[in-house]
Structure 1
Amino acid sequence: MGTITVTNLGKAYKQYKSRRARLAEWLLPFYPRQHALKWVLQDINFTVNPGEAVGIIGINGAGKSTLLKMITGTTRPTTGSVQMTGRVAAMLELGMGFHPDFTGRQNAVMAGQLLGYSVEEIHRLMPDIEAFAEIGEYIDEPVRVYSSGMQMRLAFSVATAIRPDILIVDEALSVGDAYFVHKSFARIREFREQGTTLLIVSHDKGAIQSICDRAILLSAGRLAMEGAPEEVMDYYNAMLASNQNQTVQTVVKDDGKKQTISGTGDAKTTHVSLRDEEGKAVEVVDVGQQVTLRIDVSVDRDIDQLVMGYGIKDRLGHVVYGTNTHLKNQVLNQVQAGAQLRYEVRFPANLGPGTYSIQTALTSSDTHLVNNYEWKDLALVFTVVNLNKAHFAGLAWIDPTIEVGQL
């Protein structure tokens, strides 16, 4: 079983004012220091336990790839240490270690040796590697003629030819075609079930929330948040609009879940409820039942354009459905300070049995990245039960009519 322990990890690069200053420092050991340290990462501490899956997220430049390089040993840390146990397989930069003039087969042999496989093991595994990569005759062509997707197929197939104790994946999977990405994540899930420890960097919100037990948010080279994937993703989503003089706050609800609320506060929701056909507030609804989502809004400042949006999320935080008044051509213009508004959204709860939450957004357009007045996750939680429909699987009730006939 594999474990990863990161302790006080930091990475800094030297910055010199000029080439002359760099040369002076090199040639004159006792000369005053001529460089300043540019910290890329500082004070990173976390542990990935055996069999656990942890996702790392953050905007470009947050230090995600540098962190993985230090963990895998391809970059030396300035401070701190990394301890790992077990066989490690890593996919970092696409095609790292591949020689463009060697064939895919030759590169597979070399990459396998770097992962600790013996030559005999690689030759024994080669049919499985070829079958999983599905690049056909290109396996015996130089890698320089490969597309980025083909390189990713071969690299992933080699890295996962034997189930590792620890699997580390950077964003290389993002360049693959949809079919192979699904195939790769199916293998990752299979490894997880068998006990592999997973550390993954991805901008794919769905992948992080469906695979990972925990998520880590990096911001400006520091660990900004660590916790349940949905909570961290909600906070990350709020941070994306943080250049608008908005506040981002996390509230611990009665059930222990962390609710993220962000925005400038120019407009905010005052009450959110789900109503049945008779207008009564409900927390449990039947599959297919007609319901009304009632959202009350208070406006504190004059707003040129107000858009209300909402999303229905499943228990893992995946958005099942979402829309807004911009998309429905119902934008409110020139809203005065002090206005009290009520939105009533009517729809059939064509959802599968389970627990769902509502997220709300008050913005000036169809995105919260322009003017985020308020974004509220976990604004409401409700449960869907199946009282009288035939049993079905999935998150959506799409009741079909099936006809069977002779050919």
Structure 2
Amino acid sequence: MGVLTVSNLSKAYKRYPGKWARAREWLTGKPGHDKTWVLRDISFHVRPGEAVGIIGVNGAGKSTLLKIICGTTQPTGGSARIEGRVAALLELGMGFHPDFTGRQNVFMAGQLLGMTGSEISACMPEIEAFAEIGDYIDRPVRMYSSGMQMRLAFSVATAVRPDVLIVDEALSVGDAYFQHKSFNRIREFREQGTTLLIVSHDRGAIQNLCDRALLLGEGRVIKDGRPDEVMDYYNALIAERENATVEVRALADSRVQTCSGTGEARVESIVLHNAQGEAVEFVNVGEPVQLEVRVRIHADLPELAFGYMIKDRLGQPVFGTNTHYLGLELGGFAKGDSFVLRFSFPANLGVGSYSVSTALHVSDSHLASNYEWRDLALMFNVLNIDRSTFIGVNWMLPQVEYLPFQPQPSTCR
């Protein structure tokens, strides 16, 4: 069983002021360098069969953390202890020799993973079939594209189910087809008990695959929790600017709401109405509804856009839009102004619980000027009262037509 324990892990790199400083330090025994800390006091535990995602901006220390866990880099302090057979996919094609063929590199990489020559030979047909690089398997790796290297590296690393699978962002270079294949294999491993540690900026991958997520910032763990909550907090940090703040609130249903923004404009209320104008929490599949939003302005704003995003219970986006995309230009507001927006649409959603996130910003994105971003601003449920049975998060009732088979007369004599 794969178990991972990271205790007070720290990593610093030495920075010398000049080319002779290192030699002077070695001769005199006196420190002649400064330290740049990449990781500081990281601690977490991953249980057998658990899937944990690691997210953070570039430079947060994600890749360094994985390298220390895999043993390719030594920590400055603390420890990382891992139990079970480990397969790691870190830097793309790491360990591949460019002048050797793909097949030769498979044998070398497999031996580094602890496989014997006979085991690699037995797995070779499956590795070739999964990688789908054809005759290139017997050509030098220097002739491979980055996507082909990733295909072969992933196929080797997952030829035998590991106790612990560690994946950096190498999968992001692959085409959509192979990404689907790779994630399906990861899901199969998860169902069979493999522990997963994955670094990705892909919200969908983190929320679909992981039980937990860790957010790293400046070498420390900023947040550890449910993937949807951590991703919401991460998005709020990205949107945060010099005068913005990030606020986390515990809601009555134990969910965590993340808010951020300068506060120059705020959503005062948000309500979902049915066709009769009644505020509702439960709606029927396909029922006409109206989302009413009241906004108050707290500073003079020459322009403004409002957007909303409907998410499913896992936090996956189902539908989102904003007034900029809809061609409704808002602007010329003075401090103290307020207005109401109404969005009317059919609730063509599958059965389940949904949330609405809201954003007040400039132009097409809250990343430009974030006045307010609020997750879980509204929650509602969709029931199937009178529709035919269907599967999924969208209701797209088709018209079906049956045409009897009519054999064509034979033209043969």
The answer to whether the 8 Å contact 1:244/1:372 transfers is: no
Determine which of 353, 356, 378 is the counterpart of 2:354.
356
Distance across 2 between alignment mates of 1:289 and 1:100: 59
Distance across 1 between alignment mates of 2:33 and 2:374: 45
The answer to whether the 8 Å contact 1:351/1:395 transfers is: yes
The answer to whether the 8 Å contact 1:312/1:359 transfers is: yes
Listed one character per residue, the Cα deviations across residues 248-285 of structure 1 (whole Å, up to 9, x for unaligned) are 01001011111000000000111111100111110000
2:242 is equivalent to residue 225 of structure 1? no
Listed one character per residue, the Cα deviations across residues 348-375 of structure 1 (whole Å, up to 9, x for unaligned) are 0000000100000000111111110000
Distance across 1 between alignment mates of 2:272 and 2:400: 33
Q: CA deviation at 1:27?
A: 1.9
Determine which of 386, 391, 394 is the counterpart of 1:393.
391
2:332 is equivalent to residue 322 of structure 1? no
Distance across 2 between alignment mates of 1:48 and 1:305: 47
TM-score (norm 2): 0.97
Q: Per the alignment, in what secondary structure is the counterpart of residue 20 of structure 2?
A: helix
Q: Which residue pairs with 1:11 in the alignment?
A: 11
Amino acid at match of 2:62: K
Q: Which residue pairs with 2:164 in the alignment?
A: 166
Distance across 1 between alignment mates of 2:185 and 2:125: 17
| Backbone CA RMSD of aligned residues | 0.8
Distance across 1 between alignment mates of 2:328 and 2:77: 55
Listed one character per residue, the Cα deviations across residues 112-149 of structure 1 (whole Å, up to 9, x for unaligned) are 00001011100000001001111111100000000000
Amino acid at match of 2:137: I
The answer to whether the 8 Å contact 2:9/2:78 transfers is: yes
Unaligned runs of 5+ in 2: 407-413
Q: Which residue pairs with 1:110 in the alignment?
A: 108
Amino acid at match of 2:27: L
Q: CA deviation at 1:244?
A: 3.3
2:340 is equivalent to residue 342 of structure 1? yes
Distance across 2 between alignment mates of 1:100 and 1:66: 24
Amino acid at match of 1:295: V
Amino acid at match of 1:222: R
Determine which of 374, 377, 401 is the counterpart of 1:376.
374
Distance across 2 between alignment mates of 1:22 and 1:380: 59
Number of residues paired by the alignment? 405
Amino acid at match of 2:15: Q
Q: Which residue pairs with 1:69 in the alignment?
A: 67
Q: Which residue pairs with 2:280 in the alignment?
A: 282
Amino acid at match of 1:126: M
Listed one character per residue, the Cα deviations across residues 213-251 of structure 1 (whole Å, up to 9, x for unaligned) are 000000111111110000000000011122231000100
Amino acid at match of 2:160: I
The answer to whether the 8 Å contact 2:271/2:291 transfers is: yes
Determine which of 248, 268, 271 is the counterpart of 2:269.
271
The answer to whether the 8 Å contact 1:307/1:326 transfers is: yes
Amino acid at match of 1:37: K
Distance across 2 between alignment mates of 1:132 and 1:404: 38
Alignment of 1:129-168 (within 5 A): 129-168=127-166
Amino acid at match of 1:190: E
Unaligned runs of 5+ in 1: none
The answer to whether the 8 Å contact 2:241/2:370 transfers is: no
Distance across 2 between alignment mates of 1:304 and 1:61: 36
Amino acid at match of 1:14: K
Q: Which residue pairs with 1:240 in the alignment?
A: 238
Amino acid at match of 2:130: F
Q: Per the alignment, in what secondary structure is the counterpart of residue 240 of structure 1?
A: helix
2:294 is equivalent to residue 296 of structure 1? yes
% same residue: 61
Distance across 2 between alignment mates of 1:248 and 1:295: 22
Q: Per the alignment, in what secondary structure is the counterpart of residue 355 of structure 2?
A: strand
Q: Per the alignment, in what secondary structure is the counterpart of residue 326 of structure 1?
A: coil
Q: Displaced runs of 4+ in structure 1, greater than 3 A? A: none
The answer to whether the 8 Å contact 1:244/1:371 transfers is: no
Amino acid at match of 2:359: A
Listed one character per residue, the Cα deviations across residues 40-62 of structure 1 (whole Å, up to 9, x for unaligned) are 11010101110000000001111
Distance across 2 between alignment mates of 1:59 and 1:222: 12
Determine which of 241, 252, 269 is the counterpart of 1:254.
252
Distance across 1 between alignment mates of 2:51 and 2:370: 32
Distance across 2 between alignment mates of 1:355 and 1:374: 24
Amino acid at match of 1:35: H
Distance across 1 between alignment mates of 2:169 and 2:334: 46
Distance across 2 between alignment mates of 1:364 and 1:156: 42
Q: Per the alignment, in what secondary structure is the counterpart of residue 10 of structure 1?
A: strand
2:309 is equivalent to residue 311 of structure 1? yes
Q: Per the alignment, in what secondary structure is the counterpart of residue 240 of structure 2?
A: coil
